[in-house]
Structure 1
Amino acid sequence: MKILSSPILALKVVELNSKKNIEEYKALLNSFWSNNIYYNYEYMAYYENNLERLTYFILEKEGVPIIIMPFFIRQIDSNIEFSNTFYDVVTPYGYGGPLFNEEFKNYLGYFWNKVDAWYSQNNVVSEFVRFSLRQNSDNYTGNLEHTLTNVRGLILEDQDKQWQNFVPKVRNNFRTAEKNNLSFVAKIGSNISQNDIVEFHSVYIDTMKRNNASEIYFFSLEYFQNLIFSNAQNFSIVFTEKDGVVISTELIIFWKDTMYAFLGGTRGDYFHLRPNDFLRVNIIKLASELKFKYYVLGGGRVDGDGLYKSKKAFFPKDEDPIFYTGRKIINALVYSQLTQVRGSNTTSFFPAYRLPR
């Protein structure tokens, strides 16, 4: 552990490389940040490998944690013979960046300055940050990029008004689903069973295969079991069923006032029954019953595509938040040398020297 400090503020850097450090991190996340799943150890550990070390920054004010940010630090391999070993930093997949309670937002500038100082002292060449939708990119010391428009809908107490806000296609598809005698099942928290996870995983993997998804999205059954059973209070699994058969499903994350659509899938043979619109309308009803304020559906693969439009149809009048990513070059000379060796000077990929061959 290394500390950069002032008389009041201290930035600690802790590697999650021991049971003690992992348990301390979990306790911090639970005590100060309601166990945000996108920062959860079981969630992040999936992306760790021998070349990427899971670590976190934590800024303390008079010994009290106020900002935390997990990241992977990666050694850079190159044909160039440098006198030092160089590294880069990337935050885990999903909504990340600095996590803090609103009253400590003014400390972001100090946080980033201390992070940059640590980078300079520890041979970090570049940083890539995936931010959340909660405006945690303020005072960022690198370049911010509008990466993807997301759909986030306000949940209304008046569900009749919510119904009228849907685009007509959603309402028509829901009526079709009702005529097809579909049913909605929600399992919440400790009510989630082993069989529920198996059912979800089966439909999810079937969907990934149908969509020719990248290998990274083929999460194992054990991954979901470990993640959900270790953090049950933060999850719900919902199903659309036809005659007792699960035909559509979504894994939902709970955090504070927001429900997040995490992962889901649909059996291809049942699209004509409109199970997805049926599922989402019922999720919104559930969110209202549970007193959530927002439902985040994420975005498309690119802005404005069919996937985005299908999500936007539920909240056509709501303002879309932007998913930003941050790109920062700390050591411009080494970054340029690495990029030239790779011949990747013109790419928009960041960092350019890691452009897949």
Structure 2
Amino acid sequence: MKVLYNPSLSLKVIELNSKENIEGYKILLNSFWSNNIYYNYEYLIYYENDQQNLRYFLLELHGEPIVLMPFFMRRIDSNLKLDNEFYDVITPYGYGGPLFDENVKNYLEYFWNKVDAWYSRNNVVSEFVRFSLRQNSDNYTGNLEHTLTNVRGLILEDQDKQWQNFVPKVRNNFRTAEKNNLSFVAKIGSNISQNDIVEFHSVYIDTMKRNNASEIYFFSLEYFQNLIFSNTQNFSIVFTEKDGVVISTELIIFWKDTMYAFLGGTRGDYFHLRPNDFLRVNIIKLASELKFKYYVLGGGRVDGDGLYKSKKAFFPKDEDPIFYTGRKIINSLVYSQLTQEHTSIKTSFFPAYRLPR
């Protein structure tokens, strides 16, 4: 491993385990990176537990922060008699990896080399990184995998042209929704009320139950209240209503020039009214009014499935960005020992020793 020495650069590793460190992290994120919600403390802390400890890497140039990456340090429990306690690293769910401005991209190689050196000194066996859609995987020192195709659409000033770009099914469904007298409501920033969050949460949880979602997706009402009210300028909640009843909703993240479809849901009894196409078309109109450049809808459960196609119908001509994940083995000997009981199983799960039994 080659780690170049540069006295003007330094890598810090800070645990988010005290009020002082948490407040310092919040100030850092606000001051240098416009409070990107996927890196926000209220967003990250949901995923912390007794087995994984929240920390962050911070690369500084002449004392000024230039690269930030939160991660979880996870203790590895094993029946093997190993000579030390070992760990692995994983970045939080969502769009993550190193956060930086374009003008410091040349320092990524140094960043990853210093990170790898820290891993070696601290008994880290492997690393799993979820990257963002902003090409922040350059110079990654592990293996990159094309994990999921995402839909990201360019928002046009000419909304007539935007309308013509939709596939015909979207336009037809929108017309059906209009005939059903649906209405669109957008609550933005400080206009989001407690009741708006309650309405959103109710529809969201109903959708998760209907889809038999994993337990991790059943976010509590308190989670959304804390996340949104701590960062109101970064959020909007939008609704499709029928006769005053919320039947479809989406929680949207604002960051720089992009709107991100974070989480949403629909009441199953109202699908025939086409509330989802109605909601998305109006979100795109809203994005244009607010001068956003992109709208990210995410991907499907797997590439090319029905969920992906339903999102792609709004931006059929736009190039899809790729959501990459990174996989890295730092200590191959210990990794091999930990995975020995899985040697007969062909799996892409990483790290293999955490394959659910």
Per the shorter chain, which TM-score range?
Answer: over 0.9
Instruction: State the Cα distance separating 1:344 from its structure 2 match.
Output: 6.1
- Equivalence for 2:25: 25
Within 5 A, what are the aligned runs for 1:273-352? Answer: 273-343=273-343, 346-352=346-352
2-structure distance, mates of 1:241, 1:355:
43
Instruction: State the Cα distance separating 1:341 from its structure 2 match.
Output: 3.4
1-structure distance, mates of 2:97, 2:170:
34
Give the letter for the 1:112 counterpart. Answer: W
Residues 52 and 66 of structure 1: is their aligned pair in 2 closer, same or farther, counting only changes over 3 Å? same
1-structure distance, mates of 2:212, 2:347:
25
1-structure distance, mates of 2:266, 2:141:
41
Within 5 A, what are the aligned runs for 1:1-357? Answer: 6-343=6-343, 346-357=346-357
TM-score after normalising by structure 2:
0.98
Gaps of at least 5 residues in structure 2 are none
The answer to whether the 8 Å contact 1:344/1:353 transfers is: no
Give the letter for the 2:217 counterpart. Answer: Y
Q: SS in structure 2 opposite 1:21?
A: helix
Gaps of at least 5 residues in structure 1 are none
Residues 5 and 226 of structure 1: is their aligned pair in 2 closer, same or farther, counting only changes over 3 Å? farther
2-structure distance, mates of 1:191, 1:42:
20
The answer to whether the 8 Å contact 1:52/1:75 transfers is: yes
2-structure distance, mates of 1:175, 1:344:
55
Instruction: State the Cα distance separating 1:330 from its structure 2 match.
Output: 0.2
Q: SS in structure 1 opposite 2:339?
A: helix
Q: SS in structure 2 opposite 1:139?
A: coil
Instruction: State the Cα distance separating 1:345 from its structure 2 match.
Output: 5.1
Instruction: State the Cα distance separating 1:17 from its structure 2 match.
Output: 0.5
Give the letter for the 2:66 counterpart. Answer: I
Q: Once structures 1 and 2 are overlaid, which stretch shifts more, 4-13 or 316-325? A: 4-13
Q: SS in structure 2 opposite 1:92?
A: coil
The runs of at least 4 aligned residues of structure 1 exceeding 4 Å deviation read: 342-345
1-structure distance, mates of 2:198, 2:15:
33
CA RMSD of aligned residues (A): 1.0
Instruction: State the Cα distance separating 1:98 from its structure 2 match.
Output: 0.1
1-structure distance, mates of 2:342, 2:303:
30
Give the letter for the 1:206 counterpart. Answer: D
The answer to whether the 8 Å contact 1:125/1:335 transfers is: yes
Instruction: State the Cα distance separating 1:83 from its structure 2 match.
Output: 1.2
Q: SS in structure 2 opposite 1:46?
A: helix
Aligned residues: 354
1-structure distance, mates of 2:142, 2:58:
19
Instruction: State the Cα distance separating 1:6 from its structure 2 match.
Output: 3.3
Instruction: State the Cα distance separating 1:346 from its structure 2 match.
Output: 2.5
Instruction: State the Cα distance separating 1:82 from its structure 2 match.
Output: 1.1
The answer to whether the 8 Å contact 1:208/1:217 transfers is: yes
Cα-to-partner distance string for 1:270-292 (whole Å, 9 max, x where unaligned): 00000000000000000000000
Instruction: State the Cα distance separating 1:100 from its structure 2 match.
Output: 0.2
Give the letter for the 1:178 counterpart. Answer: E
TM-score after normalising by structure 1:
0.98
Give the letter for the 1:260 counterpart. Answer: Y
2-structure distance, mates of 1:343, 1:143:
20
Give the letter for the 2:102 counterpart. Answer: E
